[in-house]
Structure 1
Amino acid sequence: MGGEVRHWNADVNGISLHVADQGPADGPPVLLIHGFPELWLSWRHQMTALAARGFRTLAPDLRGYGDSTVPDDPAAYTIFHIVGDLVALLNHLGLTKVMVVGHDLGAQVAWHLCLFRPDMVRAVVNLGVPFFPRGPNSLTEAFAGCDGLYIMQFQAGMKASPF
């Protein structure tokens, strides 16, 4: 039904990205961008369905996740780095235009890919996170009053952590 998932790594943008790839190599490419705290595996069902319909699906583990490189410096995780990794991956594969699907954190990455490199995006579908422009406050400050939001619960847990 779409073939087996192929796993490989691409050395791009100074790191190694793990990529799960399914479907015909010459099929229309769909870039699937996972959320937090997820991996390529979050897309396994969608990959199979799309591959069965002739699409090539590419689901990388973003930097810092899964089998991709985990840079030590927190400054290496800006949206510019993450989008740069995906642009470098597409260039590595010789893909000039892709359909992009993002979920959660991946939706923010997808929105920024569209903003930074609209020439590389044929279409975009985002799940769970609407576009919102950068504001004067950090996300932590912007969501400070949202105690039930999982992002804020994670932050609170980190502050209480002995690590």
Structure 2
Amino acid sequence: MEEIQHRTVDINGIKMHIAEKGQGPVVLLLHGFPELWYSWRHQILALARHGYRAVAPDLRGYGDSDAPSSIHSYSILLSVGDIIGLIDYLGVEQVFLVGHDWGAGIAWGVALFRPERVKAMVNLSVPFSPRDPSMKPIERYRAFFGDDLYICRFQEPGEMEAEIASAGVERALKKFFTSFGPGPLIIPKGTWLGDSNTPISLPSWLSEEDVKYFASRFEQKGFTGPLNYYRMINRDWELVAPWAGAEVKVPTRFIVGSKDSVYSSPGLKEYVHGATFKKFVPLLEEVVVIDGAGHFINQERPEDISTHIYEFIKKF
């Protein structure tokens, strides 16, 4: 990836690493878990060829960006603040915003809190979720899926980190990349990562070299920062209470894989194709389901995703 430039910038009280290429309107690409800027390697090159300035940060806690130690440093408000700070640093009033997984969650937050900074948005895998005042999210997840759902298993500080350390970072990453879908990701205590002597076969879209790059960064920073996003879910639910019922008023395309574990969650298909999603995202122009694709769709179907992003944002 020698064609992609890298630098570290001071944003919102942290040092943030960004990868970028191209000249023109800015497209910000926000990665998910357990990923890095590198997840957008294909889209960075494609968007630059189309005349855009593609910028992909390592989110706080990830890669070569700072990883504050406090769980409360990973709130949705601080994460959105990071992106607004990055937009300011880049010297533009508006950007095209693209997010996947946790990056999609942050992108929804940016569009909800500061819609004037977003020209249009493409989000992958995770739809906008209106706040349910009746129950905290973690309790709802436990009620639906039990304590071994991955989100629930990530709640106890240090527990998942110890399991990953015992199995090894490369093995853990391979397991995550091959386990998100279809169906909910269930992680039984102490057994999910399996016997280290049993190899994990990689999908065609992910090479051993790719895994080694991801692992080199997670071995450097660890998993605590990334897992802390999950540990803030209930607190985020409290923090966003002032925006309960608010709509995301940014032109949006939503893309999901038919075999994504998120898409197969109970009621999710009906939600994203129904009136409620459109009610809360009134400028939603299209829901795209890519047949046969899983959760890590920007890596798995890079040409399709690059084309969908370009075909949507070129209209604005």
Which residue, 75, 82, 96 being the options, matches 1:78? 75
Please give the secondary structure, in 2, of the residue aligned with 1:143. helix
Segments of 5+ residues of structure 2 without an aligned counterpart are 164-316
Q: CA deviation at 1:37?
A: 1.1
Change (3 A) 1:102 1:161: closer
CA distance in 2, matches of 1:6, 1:95: 19
Q: CA deviation at 1:143?
A: 1.7
TM-score under structure 1 length normalisation:
0.88
Q: Does the 8 A contact of 1:146 with 1:152 survive in 2?
A: no
Larger radius of gyration: 2
Question: 2:17 corresponds to which residue?
Answer: 18
Q: Does the 8 A contact of 2:153 with 2:160 survive in 1?
A: no
CA distance in 1, matches of 2:153, 2:125: 18
Q: CA deviation at 1:135?
A: 2.7
Partner deviation per Cα, 1:91-120 (whole Å, 9 max, x = no partner): 011111000000001111000000111010
CA distance in 2, matches of 1:4, 1:160: 36
Q: CA deviation at 1:4?
A: 1.5
CA distance in 2, matches of 1:44, 1:160: 28
Question: 2:31 corresponds to which residue?
Answer: 34
CA distance in 2, matches of 1:80, 1:124: 19
TM-score under structure 2 length normalisation:
0.47
Change (3 A) 1:41 1:162: closer
Question: 2:151 corresponds to which residue?
Answer: 151
Q: How many residues are paired up?
A: 159
- In structure 2, give the amino acid aligned to 1:94: G
Change (3 A) 1:160 1:10: closer
Q: CA deviation at 1:140?
A: 2.3
CA distance in 2, matches of 1:125, 1:16: 26
Q: CA deviation at 1:54?
A: 0.7
Which has a greater percent of helix? 2
Answering whether residue 12 of structure 2 is matched by residue 4 of structure 1, we say no
| Identical counterparts, % of pairs | 51
- In structure 2, give the amino acid aligned to 1:92: Y
Question: 1:141 corresponds to which residue?
Answer: 139
CA distance in 2, matches of 1:160, 1:13: 28
Which residue, 90, 102, 107 being the options, matches 2:104? 107
